[in-house]
Amino acid sequence: MKIAFYDAKPYDKVWFDRLAPEFGYKIKYIESRLTIDNCILAKNYDAVCVFVNDKVTAEVIDELHAMGVQAILLRCAGYNNVDFKAAFEKIYIMRVAAYSPYAVAEYASALLLSVNRKIHRAYSRTRDYNFNINGLMGMDLHGKTAGIIGTGRIGQIMIDILRGYGMHIIAYDLFPPKDPSFEMVSLERLWAESDVISLHCPLTPETKHLVNAESLSQMKPSAILINTSRGGLIDTAALNEAVKNRQIMGVGLDVYEEEDEYFFEDRSNDILEDEALIRLMSFPNVLVTSHQAFFTAEAMEAIARTTLENLKRLENGEYLENEICYHCGLQGTCDRHKNRKNCFELKKADE
C-alpha cells in the first residue's frame, strides 16, 4: 500500500523512513498541508497521512474518496480538524490515541516551572551578561493547590508529577474516573481554589473556550495557567485582557487557538498579522512555545509505528482499534467497538 504524507517535516521522516519498509509500505512526502487544491497529489495512493493543522473538510474527503483513497491516517491524538462524520461509509479515519503521555505531562510540568521561576527570562538575561535577579521571584509549589482539568492518562501523569512537588490536587472531568485517588470538584471550585491550573482535556463543543472571561475572573490573581492540550480551550481575547489587568500571575501555552497559521513554521522573517498572538507574547509573564509537548524520540517512534499499524490492520481486514466512531465522535466506546467490530465497512469495489 502507498501513503501520501502531507505536511511532512524532516523529523517526521526519521521514524517513518525507518519503519515503512518493515510494513512493506511506500511513502510520498508532501511538504504542504492537505487542502482541496492539492488533494490530487494523493491520486493512486491508498491512504493519506495528516497532522493537526491539515484541514480535512467534507470537500477534501469527497475528493479523496473519488480518487480511491481508503484511509486517513492521523499521526496525532486530536481530530477536531477532521470532518469525520462526512467520511462515514467513504473513508476510514484512524488516529494515534496515545504515544507518550509522559512526554506531554513532563512538558506541562516544565512550562509550569519556567513560568513560575521565570527561567526563560533568566536565560535571556544571562546571555547578555545581566545577572540581576530582580523581578524573577516565584513561589514554592509545595503545599499549593493544583487544579487539573481532564483526568485521562496525561492528566493523571501530571497529577503524579505535581504530587511529587508536594501539591494538593483537585480535578474536574466531564467523565470522571472510577475511584480516583484525588478529589473531584466542580469547575467553579477549581477556578477559585487553584494556585496552578493545567488543561488536559480534548477540544469539543462543550470545552471550547472553557477558559473565558468569566472563569478567568474567578481565578486567584496569583494563579498560573498551563495549556498543553488544545488552543481552542482558551478564549485568547479574554486571556489577553486578564493578563493585562493582572487577574492572573502567569501563563504557559504550548498551543494557541489560531496556531495553524504559524506553529511548526519559521516565521522569523515575517511580520506577524495575528494581533492577539502578538499581544499575548508581549507580556513578560506569558511563555508561548510551538506545540512541542509531544516531541520526544519515544513519542515520534510510537506515532510512526502506530500510524503504520493502523493501516496494516485495515489491509488485513482486522479490527481497527484506533478508528474514530463516526456517530458519537469517540473511540472504542460505541456498541460496535465494544464488540470489536469496525464502525463501518467499506463496500467492495465490485458491489
Indicate whether 261 pLDDT > 60: yes
pLDDT of 335 reads 65
For the segment 207-223, the average pLDDT, to the nearest whole number, is 98
Q: How confident is the model at residue 311 (pLDDT cuts 50, 70, 90)?
A: very high
* DSSP assigned state of 219: S
Looking at the domain covering 2-99+296-338, what would its CATH class be? alpha beta
Nearest to 33 by CA among 52, 61, 58: 52
For the segment 175-182, the average pLDDT, to the nearest whole number, is 91
pLDDT of 26 reads 97
pLDDT of 98 reads 81
pLDDT of 337 reads 64
Alpha carbons 341 and 318: distance in angstroms, whole number: 9
Of the chain, the end-to-end C-alpha distance in Å amounts to 22
Q: How confident is the model at residue 350 (pLDDT cuts 50, 70, 90)?
A: very low
pLDDT of 79 reads 83
For the segment 332-351, the average pLDDT, to the nearest whole number, is 60
* Edge-to-edge strand ranges of the sheet holding 183-184: 183-184, 168-172, 145-149, 196-199, 224-227, 250-253, 286-288
Looking at the domain covering 101-288, what would its CATH class be? alpha beta
2-99+296-338 and 101-288 in the same fold: yes
Indicate whether 327 pLDDT > 80: no
Q: Of 3-17, 91-105, 189-203, where does mean pLDDT reach its minimum?
A: 91-105
Indicate whether 351 pLDDT > 60: no
Indicate whether 345 pLDDT > 90: no
Indicate whether 336 pLDDT > 50: yes
Kindly tell me the burial class for residue 175, based on how many C-beta atoms sit within 10 Å of its own C-beta (0-12, 13-18, 19 or more). Answer: exposed
Indicate whether 346 pLDDT > 70: no
What is the pLDDT of the chain when averaged over all its residues? 92
CB 171 within 8 A of CB 147: yes
Task: List the catalytic residues.
Answer: 230, 259, 291
Can you give the residue ranges of every domain in the chain? 2-99+296-338, 101-288
Q: Of 141-145, 190-194, 201-205, where does mean pLDDT reach its minimum?
A: 201-205
Q: How confident is the model at residue 239 (pLDDT cuts 50, 70, 90)?
A: very high
Alpha carbons 173 and 170: distance in angstroms, whole number: 11
